[in-house]
Amino acid sequence: MFKGARTIFCIALALTTTTQAAVVEKHITFGVANIPTDLTVVYKEAHHKVEGQPTVVFLHGARFTSDTWNEIGALDAVAASGYHAVALDLPGFGKTGGLKMFKERDRTNFIKAALDELHLNQVVLVAASMGGLFAIETVLMEPQRVAGYVPIAAAGAEEHLKELAARTDMTMPVLTLWGGEDKPDGSRAHMYEWVFPKQSKVVFEGAGHACYLDNPTYFKQLLTEFLDQIKQESVDAVAK
């Protein structure tokens, strides 16, 4: 379904309630290069790490926290499909300490340190809006670590467009999600088509910037299908 660049328009469905799985709130304290004091980072986790499968890491937008992903049942849906899920409170947001990170270098160092501390060697990054500023750093600096990327009206790509276009290692599957009414940011979606050869795009008709909140049921369906596609491609690659 997601192979090759395509645009899919969907009709917004009514919000439905899902049964929450066991989602645990935890914290870790670690140092980040160029940050004078250690950070205590709060995160939510569902399911356990599965050998040979990537962990789904959720990165929230500027008006939200890790609670947002939990409230719409995203961690529950990922866990119910058999995948390990982690949602971070980014620095300066939610219950995580420290200041908000405006420098690219700090964001790069933070994400690397957090993934290292959690021993996450293979990840699928799900990044909404501002969360894309953190995710794109990992995509650029450690592409071998990124099994897939789901930018949701995500920032970041436009700042690295020339670099991304020149790279030959941007081969991870990418599922780009946008709200049909997200006029200021909708044009960004085309950037992902230019730089990621394995990119597909889904536009949520009638939805705004936070399209995953306008239609969480469809968002979770798309995400779990995307994860299953990555898993199947991995199995096929081993079988060759």
Q: Which of 76, 182, 200, 214 is catalytic?
A: 182
- Domain extent, residue 185, equals 7-239
38 carries an active-site annotation: no
Q: Which of 106, 129, 200, 214 is catalytic?
A: 129
Per the document, the length of the chain is 240
- pLDDT digit string (tens) for the chain, length 240 residues: 444 444 443 433 333 333 445 899 999 999 988 787 889 999 999 998 888 899 999 999 999 999 999 999 999 999 999 999 999 999 999 999 888 888 888 888 999 999 999 999 999 999 999 999 999 989 999 999 999 999 999 988 877 878 888 888 999 999 999 999 986 555 566 777 778 889 999 999 999 999 999 999 999 999 999 999 999 888 777 777
In DSSP terms, which residues pair with 27 in a beta bridge? 42
Close Cβ partners of 116 (under 8 Å, ≥ 6 residues apart) = none
| Angle (nearest 5°) at CA 61 between 111 and 200 | 85
Task: Give how many domains the chain has, as a whole number.
Answer: 1
- Residue 24 domain flag: yes
Tokens of 59: 């990165």
Question: Strand pairing of 7-11 and 199-205?
Answer: parallel
98: left (phi over 0), alpha (psi -120 to 50) or beta: left
66 carries an active-site annotation: no
- Residue 1 domain flag: no
- Residue 2 domain flag: no
Q: Which of 209, 214, 234, 236 is catalytic?
A: 209
Q: Quick one: DSSP state of residue 143? A: G
- Residue 129 domain flag: yes
Question: Strand pairing of 23-30 and 39-46?
Answer: antiparallel
- Residue 57 domain flag: yes
**Gap between the terminal Cα atoms of the chain:** 21
- Residue 101 domain flag: yes
- Residue 220 domain flag: yes
> In whole angstroms, what is the distance from residue 5 CA to residue 203 CA?
13
- Residue 74 domain flag: yes
200 carries an active-site annotation: no
Q: CATH number, domain at 98?
A: 3.40.50.1820
